[in-house]
C-alpha cells in the first residue's frame, strides 16, 4: 500500500558525508514510523535508525550514534539519513522501511516493518 524508493548512495572516501533519501508514495506518509536498515555482503541486515510518525521519537544504533542523523519531512513524503564521518564499516546496502501498525514507536526490529524499499548502495573506501 506504500512504495518506498531510496536514493543518494554512492562511492565516497572515509571521512566524507552523504545524505540518503527515501521517498514514499501510495499512503499518507505521516501514518508510518520509518526506519533505516543496512546489510553488508554476507552479513545479516542490521538496524541503523528509526523515527516516529511525527519525528519526535528517534533511536539510533550505537555504532552510528553521533555520526548519522535520521529526519523526516512529511510535507515532502521523505525520510533522510544524513551520514557524516563515514567509515569503511558503513559500507552496505541501505534500506528504508515503513511501519503502519505502530507509527508512534520507532522500532529496531525489522519484523515490525511492513514495507521496504529496494535499497541503495553506500561504499566507503579507505
pLDDT at 30: 79
For the CA atoms of the chain, what is the radius of gyration? 13
**Is residue 46's pLDDT more than 90?**
yes
Indicate if the pLDDT at residue 26 is higher than 90. Answer: no
Residue 29 has pLDDT above 80, yes or no: no
E-strand spans in the chain?
Answer: 3-7, 10-13, 18-25, 33-39, 46-51, 58-60, 68-73, 78-83, 92-99, 115-116, 120-125
Of 117 and 29, more confident: 117
| Residue 108 DSSP class | S
Q: How confident is the model at residue 86 (pLDDT cuts 50, 70, 90)?
A: very high
Query: What pLDDT is attached to residue 8?
Result: 98
Amino acid at each position: 500500500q506504500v512504495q518506498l524508493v531510496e536514493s543518494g548512495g554512492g562511492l565516497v572516501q572515509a571521512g566524507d558525508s552523504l545524505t540518503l533519501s527515501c521517498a514514499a508514495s501510495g499512503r499518507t506518509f505521516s501514518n508510518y514510523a520509518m526506519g533505516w536498515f543496512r546489510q553488508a555482503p554476507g552479513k545479516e541486515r542490521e538496524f541503523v535508525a528509526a523515527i516516529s510518525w511525527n519525528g519526535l521519537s528517534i533511536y539510533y544504533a550505537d555504532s552510528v550514534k553521533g555520526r548519522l542523523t535520521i529526519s523526516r519531512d512529511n510535507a515532502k513524503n521523505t525520510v533522510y539519513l544524513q551520514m557524516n564521518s563515514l567509515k569503511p564499516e558503513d559500507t552496505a546496502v541501505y534500506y528504508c522501511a515503513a511501519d503502519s501498525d505502530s507509527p508512534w514507536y520507532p522500532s529496531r526490529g525489522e519484523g515490525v516493518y511492513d514495507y521496504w524499499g529496494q535499497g541503495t548502495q553506500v561504499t566507503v573506501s579507505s
